[in-house]
Amino acid sequence: MIGAGAAGFFGAITCAEIHPYARIILLEAGQQPLAKVRISGGGRCNVTHACFEPSELVLNYPRGGKALRGAFSRFHPRDTVKWFAQRGIKLKTEADGRMFPVTDNSETIVNCLVTAAQDAGVQLKTGTTVISAIRSIFADGEKGFEIKLKSGEIFRCDRLLLATGSNPFGYQIAQALGHKIASPVPSLFTFNIRDARLAGLAGISTESANLRLLVGQNPPLTQTGALLITHWGLSGPAVLKLSAWGARLLSESCYQATLIINWLPEFNPETCREKLLAVKTEWGKKAIAANCPLALPRRLWQSIVTNMGIGAEDRWAAISNQLLNQLSQELTQAKFQIAGKGAFKEEFVTCGGVSLPEVNFKTMESRVCPGLYLAGEILDIDGVTGGFNFQSAWTTAWIAGNAIGKINLS
């Protein structure tokens, strides 16, 4: 098995526990295994998501949801919770559904996986980079794989699990074994936007905004959710989700796109205008900038009206109908220019990878290269933030681990 990350470990443990006769060697390029698990979720490891209905779960995968439907009916978040519970690790659920170890420490998960692998007899070799894997027929007539290490050493195996995550050499190995690779592009990032309306507001968030992302002539992508203003632009759950659903389009457009924000999703331009008209009659003597009549952070309101040219002393009574229309537009259809992407440190993932129709999801065995199994991020699967990426790694690796150790009687 190549790659001692989430998927490699889970596949190796599953296989070793179910098929005790299997001899498993897990090869890892890094000095330490499970590097991403260690830093995941800001060091807390967002293991999975409290979403226990496969049909709902799949909606969180911009790529791969359909293929995962059946897989999730065999191993889904409740099984993940149970798997860790059986090994003494309790998970807790946060208000937004994300699940973490109760210790709030990813080391708990790392130790659990390392111990389980050891106990099951998995042989882990770190600092071992694989440079090629080829299918061959050995002298004794057996079919299998020849795994070449950077050190020059060669391993042989009859079955191979490729779980190299988003590593470019992993894709190359899969490609050399006959697979098509959907070109890898980043997913889960923030939007860089330089705009006077957002200047100086870093740290301010709104509970709910509606976002519409326009990339070239493509149909708009929309999301509603919490929004966070940063030094560089916008972040928060709604932006991250858009980045995931728009990952490929945005990459093609070099991260140039238009974002339309409705700061008040309960209003449309028309109902917002009516509301503002009512405010105008009711609050006539009050200053506009100092008196926000809507559920918006005060400083955001001030920035919006100031950037429209409304002075600090301007009163509601004096606002022209034209300006009122414009204000309602600014609140419900504000246009921003996205000029690049920024890093979201807590989680990111690669969109693209081994093309899914080439994989049998009942076993995770390759349809183009018998004996080769694939699991985790190397597949063209990725989820939105919240534990979905690990869940797809656990699920695909569990299925692979089950299948890979079966003795072929034919």
Partner 1 sequence: MKYICKVCGYIYDPEEGDPDSGVAPGTAFENLPDDWSCPVCGVEKEDFEPYDG
Ligand X SMILES: Cc1cc2nc3c(=O)[nH]c(=O)nc-3n(C[C@H](O)[C@H](O)[C@H](O)COP(=O)(O)OP(=O)(O)OC[C@H]3O[C@@H](n4cnc5c(N)ncnc54)[C@H](O)[C@@H]3O)c2cc1C
For partner 1, the binding residue among 14, 166, 190, 328 (CB under 8 A) is 166
Q: Burial of 305 by CB count in 10 Å (0-12 exposed, 13-18 middle, 19+ buried)? A: buried
Report residue 352 CA to chain centroid gap: 12
Tell me how far, at minimum, the Cβ of 252 lies from partner 1, in Å.
21
Element at 208 (helix H, strand E): strand 205-214
Binding mask 115-154 for partner 1 (x = CB under 8 A): --------------x-------------------------
Q: Binding residue for partner 1 (CB under 8 A) from 9, 10, 36, 44? A: 36
Helix (H) or strand (E) holding 400: helix 388-404
Yes or no: say if 195 and 37 are a contact pair by the CB < 8 Å rule: no
Phi first, then psi, for residue 365 (nearest 5°) are -85, 145
Q: Please tell me whether residue 240 binds ligand X under the rule CB under 6 A.
A: no
For 321, the enclosing helix (H) or strand (E) is helix 321-332
Q: Which of partner 1, ligand X, none has residue 125 at its interface (CB below 5 to 8 Å by kind)?
A: none
Q: Are 111 and 9 in contact (CB under 8 A)?
A: no
What is the per-residue DSSP string for 107-123?
HHHHHHHHHHHHHTTPE
Q: Which two tokens stand for residue 65?
A: 């949801």
* Dihedrals phi, psi of 367, to nearest 5 degrees: -85, -10
Binder of residue 80, out of ligand X, partner 1, none (CB less than 5 to 8 A by kind): none
What are the structure tokens assigned to 336, written together?
A: 């921003």
Smallest distance, partner 1 to C-beta of residue 187, A? 13
CB of 39 to partner 1, least distance (A): 3
- Closest CB to partner 1 among residues 48, 190: 190
Task: Indicate which single residue of 18, 149, 157, 169 sits in contact with partner 1 (rule: CB under 8 A).
Answer: 169
Q: Which stretch binds ligand X (CB under 6 A): 5-13, 111-119, 305-313, 352-360?
A: 5-13
Only segment of 28-36, 84-92, 176-184, 199-207 that touches ligand X (CB under 6 A): 28-36
* 343-402 binders of partner 1 (CB under 8 A): 343, 348
Q: With CB under 6 A, what is the number of residues at the site for ligand X?
A: 37
Amino acid symbol at 325 = N
- Token look-up 């246009």 returns 335
Cα–Cα dist 208/225, whole Å = 5
Determine which residue in the list 377, 399, 401, 403 makes contact with ligand X, applying CB under 6 A: 377
Q: Using CB distances below 5 to 8 A depending on partner kind, what does residue 318 bind out of partner 1, ligand X, none? A: none
Rounded Cα distance between 396 and 394, Å, is 6
Which string of DSSP letters, residue by residue, matches 345-391? TT--EEEEEE-GGGEETTTTEESSSTTEEE-GGGBS-B--TTTHHHH
Nearer to partner 1, 83 or 189 (CB): 189
Helix (H) or strand (E) holding 240: helix 237-245
Which one of 29, 214, 244, 384 is in contact with partner 1 (CB under 8 A)?
29
Q: Which residues on neighbouring strands pair with residue 63, listed in sequence order? A: 382
Taking CB under 6 A as the binding criterion, the range among 31-39, 153-161, 205-213, 216-224 that sits at the site for ligand X is 31-39
Does the footprint of ligand X cover residue 170 (CB under 6 A)? Answer: yes
Site for ligand X in 72-131 (CB under 6 A): 129-130
- Enumerate residues 327-346 that contact partner 1 by CB under 8 A: 343
Interface contacts to partner 1, rule CB under 8 A: 29-32, 35-36, 38-39, 129, 165-169, 343, 348
Interface contacts to ligand X, rule CB under 6 A: 2-8, 27-30, 35-36, 39-41, 45-46, 129-130, 163-165, 167, 169-170, 346-349, 376-377, 387-390, 393
